[in-house]
Amino acid sequence: MNLPKIIKNKNFLKLVVSLLILLFLMKLVNYQLLWSSIKNINSIFMVALAILPFSIFLRAWRWLIIMNKDGKLVSIKNAYYLTLVGVALNIFLPASSGDIAKSYYGYKWHGVKEEMLSSSIIDKLIALLALFIIGSVAAFVLKMDWLAALSILMMVALGFLIFFPKLVPWRILNWVLGFFTKTQLDEDKLKTSFALPHKIKIITILISIMAWTLSYIQFYVVCLSFNVDISFTYILAIASLLNLALLFPFTLNGIGSGEVMTIYLFSLVNISPTLAILISLVYFQLLNTIIPGIFGLAIILKK
């Protein structure tokens, strides 16, 4: 069974779960406030749209550096295209694994199977590590001790995986990836490709910090577009929890689980569930999935 067939077989259950969660959340919505917020959206929303291609570029650049560690295997243009493909696949695959599954298409188009796959995996891990670094600092500034502790714990765990790749359970990882690609990989080559020089790891972590900061400036602008008064530092502090919610594997691209987490975290600063749901759907689904995903799907169909 190929990747498209696997995607099709798993989507129905995820769609049902997402719809059930959204139906439950609709009971919390003030429809008058919802319509008023949409109708009176601030023109600053255009800034959020303008940020999108630059945010994707930073993600593509990070992956390009990892991929080309031993020579030029992929151009920045193709890295950008494959990043868009990853966004498109996130719509159909659980736990935002489209960013990893894009390696399937990268391999079909460019070859270098293990390099494509290993670079996509460590790219995802480095992105998460950077997010927890940001979150721990922001939570510490706000004196949110529980959140700072959680972010630091996750940061340490991911740091060990990235800087000490010998600890990675390669056999299990190979099985999971083989489930999607139906291809057995060379574990030794995969492990070797994963062992990046520390200099590259540090550079890509710094790029990830820039990418996340830019992305959550976009989130902040979306909040301003709907006249929601929220601290940018607070957004950075909760960013890791918001993204963890999107990794819930039984929803369609985190639809539903992302909104539940946003409602909870926004309620801590007295923001209504209606605005929380609206901002979550606009930012995570419209801006960062549907719009770039359309371009990603077009690239898949073209190739």
Question: Is the four-CA dihedral 72, 79, 129, 54 of positive or negative sign?
Answer: positive
* pLDDT above 70 coverage of the chain, percent: 82
Mean pLDDT across the chain, nearest whole number? Answer: 85
Paired tokens of 262: 């946003």
Per-residue pLDDT, 101: 64
Q: Which of 74, 97, 73 is nearest to 87 (CA)?
A: 97
- DSSP letters, 57-72, are HHHHHHHHHHHTTTS-
pLDDT digits (tens, 9 = 90+) for 174-224: 676 665 555 556 666 667 666 788 899 999 999 999 999 999 999 999 999
Number of compact structural domains in the chain: 1
pLDDT higher than 50, residue 1:
no
| Three-class SS state of 256 | coil
CA 201 to CA 161: how far, in whole Å? 12
Supply angle C-alpha 11, 283, 276, rounded to 5: 95
Per-residue pLDDT, 74: 81
**pTM of the model as a whole:** 0.86
Domain holding 212, by residue range, is 3-302
Q: What is the mean pLDDT of residues 13-40?
A: 89
At 253, the pLDDT band (50, 70, 90 cuts) reads: confident
Lowest model confidence (mean pLDDT) among 10-19, 224-233, 293-302? 10-19
pLDDT digits (tens, 9 = 90+) for 71-111: 777 888 988 998 898 888 877 765 555 666 666 666 666 66
- DSSP letters, 16-72, are HHHHHHHHHHGGG--HHHHHHHHHT--TTHHHHHHHHHHHHHHHHHHHHHHHTTTS-
Per-residue pLDDT, 248: 77
CA 85 to CA 80: how far, in whole Å? 9
Per-residue pLDDT, 8: 52
